[in-house]
Amino acid sequence: MSEQTQKNAFNERIRNAAQEFGLPRLIITGFLVLLLVVSPFVGADLPTQISNIINRFSWNGVLVLAMVPMVHSGCGLNFGLPLGIISGLLGATLSIELGFTGAVSFVMAALLATPFALVLGTVYGWLLNKIKGGEMMIATYVGFSSVSLMCMMWLLLPYHSPNMVWGMAGKGLRTTISLEGYYTQALAKILQINIGNLMIPTGAILFFIVLAFAMWAFLHTKTGTAMTAVGSNPEFARSAGINVDKIRLISVVMSTWLAAIGILVYEQGFGFIQLYMAPFYMALPAVSAILIGGASVNKASIMNVIIGTILFQGIVTMTPTVMNNMIHLDMSEVIRIIVSNGMILYALTRKTEGTK
Amino acid sequence: MEKAPLLEMRNIRKDFFGNQVLEDINLTLREGEVIGLVGENGAGKSTLMKILFGADVIRETGGYGGEIILNSEKVSFNSPFEAIEKGIGMVHQEFSLIPGFAATENILLNRESKKKSVLSELFSDRMDTLDRKEMDKRADEAIRKMGVNIDQDMRISDMPVGHKQFTEIARELSKEQLKLLILDEPTAVLTEKEAEALLESIRGMAKRGIAVIFITHRLGEILAVCDRVVTMRDGRVVNEVNAKDTSVAEITKWMVGRDVGAGSASYVTEDTGKDKRIILSIDKLWVDMPGETVRNVKLDVREGEILGIGGLAGQGKLGIPNGVMGLYPAGGKVTFNGEEIPLNNPRKCLDASFAFVSEDRRGVGLLLDESLEWNIAFPAMQVQNKFLKLYLGGLIKWRDDKAIKEITSKYIDELAIKCTSTTQKAKELSGGNQQKVCLAKAFALEPKLLFVSEPTRGIDVGAKALVLDALKKFNKEKGVTVVMVSSELEELRQTCDRIAIISGGKVAGILPSGEKLEKFGELMLKNC
């Protein structure tokens, strides 16, 4: 008898856990596991695949984390991520221009990006405070237009470093700049673990963990609590004496700064700085990752970030590889685009809002 | 032998989610009879009419009990269209007219006279053309039935309010099958002269055999035009009397009073606190709150008292606490303990140790998606730095979840909030318990002055008593001055020391709560 009840209680607990995790995420996780199981049979090397997923997690984690503050303050998903990314790119190119090399160039890039992120973030936040209710639409266009503006600026700004400018003209930045000799793998190399084909970029993951912990801690402070309350019900917050606009501004600046740092982390893993239209495509994967991780438009946790990034990047890296190996045709780029945009589309349909 | 009544409503009952709003309503109406339906806001008049008219909201919230008999036939309308079919017309408080259309077009909307054309022969009658001449004739007839003169070619957007109202009534009158017309506060927006014309047209309709149910706050009009007056209060019909046998004062008493005389022993009958210190003084206050405009309020609140603010809906009583607390644009002078409190800044009010329980529980009062802990502790944490642990010399203000849990448990016990745990989400609680959470939130601020706005709106009778008792206890034990706004006069009389009645955005008068009901009624209608 008691065994029966115990079993029931256990079932109940499993069911609750499953419900909390969410059916869509269970399905995606199941699909990812299926891909991992299938991959050795179609001739893909499993440890390499796993390294790939972990690597891509370490590149993208901070960019996804940048979504969190604005979601908490009720500004919605930060489709204006390119603005923060541009701050990061300015920091990166300036750091190289000023002649820093090696790991130091990463630190300098982060430091140089910060003032840009603060200023642009403030302007962006001020703008978002003017158009409450339509943040995400405006944010998208802020992202788009800032990218277009910078397309001109990258050509016009007086950069001279031969590693960055077009070879023939001697001016104007190249679309892709190699970080070889600068900060490529700067974080990943720290305490890197290599077991056969399995490679874990410990330093980059630790860096993400530090930032994620800082975010978690911030949300436990007085200001962080106010931020969550503003996102949950701005009228409630206002009647409790909170300066709603100020809190929202703080969240936007935080998000922009994290995006700047996030792109630097991405670059150190990827090994290249991508300019011009590249930032254009960075916002949607990050938005999708956090949505797949189970966040809603005004609720997001660090766990959502971690789960979402692993699932999104896992599917996006694994599907093309497995498919390629199955049909023996190199169309990985096509499949990658189909899968990643499909995931984005799916994630955006999962967009839910809290009770109003 | 007497003819069977046109309409009979038997034992009508209705509850919204367990909250009984109508109980055993019986109403009969004969052909050509005009009855006046009066009662305070929330007495159930509109709900009763919605049931009769088959409004969607009734069906969506679980239907009603009892039966409606129209022309000796039991009916139950699923939509207003069915009600219209059976000859019931309703003119709502809000206009439902198309601004860009002329009066005629509005009056005959979707019932236009039509002419056949080649196209309609070929396709369908959707291609018929309008017979303007015939339409003009019909509209003119409907307008003349009212006995007023409005330009039927004028666009609605160009009309004065009164004419819009007449157009709306003409629309109902143009329906041939009309037997029963419901007028919901039709004179609220009219000038005296227009209202007079409307009353005249109601008399005309009655002569033609149309029965009219007339809802209004202007009691004089009721007496002038109605055959019978039905008074409702708290979801019951408390009185039904021939209009000639009664007076405005009598009706007022029925409207506001409960068991007159019986329970009055517990009322504070005298103004005992004349010598008490004035703690809050409001002068020349105006508040721009939509629907509750405050025009010029002067009010003094005494230390340690419970001051009630009453009055009809829309007269500005809700605007006072919302304006003082800085939630709506306001101007004027507010002095607390000799210090002037700046307006339009909620933080300054909270710093001056005011607290406010909003009437908009779900919109302003609660974080629906968050736990009870957050709801109760949040303002105190943000305003007074309570429930925080300080690290690095105060640089990091860490939320003290343990202290928050403690205070939440304390208030859950004290106010008997029904919940599964302190971390339950606020949206999962019932209305009454949500209200208690709002009170707990204000109590946690340990204010010197507490504004409470409509504390019992939308909660059941049991919870009402608990909420009011908690307020009284808080006032007595902590010596907190309470300003309570409510549209239920009876509740104010049982709770407060004095009651200020707001009418037309101004204080119409302040009375001790034991004062005669007629006096309150008079003040309520003073500046309307």
Residues of chain B with Cβ-Cβ distance to A225 below 8 Å are 374, 378, 381-382, 399
pLDDT at A60 > cutoff 90: yes
Domain of A273: which CATH number? Answer: 1.10.3470
The reply to whether A308 falls in a domain is yes
- What is the full DSSP assignment across A197-216? TEEE-HHHHHHHHHHHHHHH
* CA–CA gap between residue A163 and residue A179 (Å, rounded): 9
Q: Out of B356, B369, B398, whose CB is closest to A239?
A: B356
pLDDT, average across residues A94-117: 92
- The pLDDT of residue A354: 57
Q: Which residues pair with B511 in a beta bridge?
A: B499
Domain contains A244: yes
| Lookup: tokens for B320 | 């006072």
Contact A354 B383 (CB under 8 A): no
> Do the chains contact at A225 and B347, CB–CB below 8 Å?
no
Average pLDDT of the segment spanning B50-75: 84
Which H helix or E strand runs over B461? helix B461-478
Chain A residue at shortest CA distance from B356: A239
- Which of these, B302, B333, B300, B295, lies nearest to B317 by C-alpha position? B295
- Name the DSSP letter for residue A179: -
Whether A12 is covered by a domain: the verdict is no
Give which of B308, B325, B358, B334 is closest to B481, Cα–Cα. B308
- The Cα of B287 is separated from the nearest Cα of chain A by a number of Å equal to 16
Across the interface, do B385 and A222 touch by the CB < 8 Å criterion? yes
- The one-character DSSP state at B424 is S
Structural domain includes residue A270: yes
How would residue B137 be classed by pLDDT, with cut points 50, 70 and 90? confident
Whether the CA torsion A311, A314, A317, A320 is positive or negative: it is: negative
* pLDDT (tens digit per residue) in B231-266: 888 788 888 888 888 887 788 778 776 544 444 445
Whether the pLDDT of residue A5 is over 80: the answer is no
Residues of B in contact with A243 (CB under 8 A): 347
pLDDT at residue B144, rounded to an integer: 81
Residue A32 within any structural domain of the chain: no
The Cα–Cα gap between B213 and A136 comes to 50
Which residues of chain A are within 8 Å of residue B369 when distances are taken between CB atoms? 232-233, 298-299, 354-355
Q: What is the DSSP letter of B392?
A: T
Q: Do B378 and A355 touch (CB under 8 A)?
A: no
d(CA A161, CA A150) in angstroms, rounded, equals 18
Flag whether A247 is in a domain. yes
**Domains identified in chain B and CATH numbers:** 7-87+177-256 (3.40.50.300), 261-353+447-528 (3.40.50.300), 363-446 (no CATH)
Residue type, A20: E
Contacts of A45 (CB under 8 A, 6+ apart): A39, A197
* Whether pLDDT at B161 is above 50: yes
Domain count, chain A: 1
Q: Which residues on B lie below 8 Å from A220 (Cβ)?
A: 398-399
Residue in A226, A229, A236 nearest the CB of B364 = A236
Q: Is the pLDDT of residue A121 over 90?
A: yes
Give A193→chain B minimum CA distance, Å: 35
How far is residue A103's CA from residue A108's CA, in Å, rounded to a whole number? 9
Neighbours of A26 (CB within 10 A): 12
- The predicted complex's ipTM stands at 0.81
Residues B431-437, mean pLDDT to the nearest whole number: 85
Q: What is the mean pLDDT of residues A9-22?
A: 74
For chain A, give the mean pLDDT: 87
Query: Which of A233, A238, A239 is nearest residue B368 as measured by Cβ atoms?
Result: A233
Give the pLDDT band (50/70/90) at residue A305: very high
**What's the rounded Cα separation, in Å, for the pair A117 and A260?**
7
Chain A interface test: which of B369, B374, B385, B451 (most A C-beta within 10 Å): B369
State which residues form the domain around A199.
Answer: 43-349
* Nearest-neighbour CA in chain B from A74: distance (Å): 13
Q: How far apart are CA B88 and CA A234, in angstroms?
A: 44
d(CA A163, CA A99): 10
Q: Tell whether the model's pLDDT for residue A10 goes beyond 80.
A: no
SS3 assignment, position B527 = coil
φ and ψ of A234, to 5 deg:
-60, -30
| Residue A9, domain member (yes or no) | no
Model confidence pLDDT, tens digit, residues A173-220: 888 998 888 888 888 888 888 888 888 899 999 999 999 999 999 999
For residue A70, is it within any domain?
yes
| Structure tokens, A190 | 């720290």
Residue of A nearest to B395 (CA): A221
CA nearest to A216 within chain B: B398
- A352 interaction partners in chain B (CB closer than 8 Å): none
Taking contacts as CB-CB distances below 8 angstroms, the residues of chain A near B368 are 232-233, 354-356
Give pLDDT tens digits for B469-490: 888 988 988 889 999 998 888 8
Residue A95: the pLDDT is: 93
* Cβ proximity of A51 and A236 under 8 Å: no
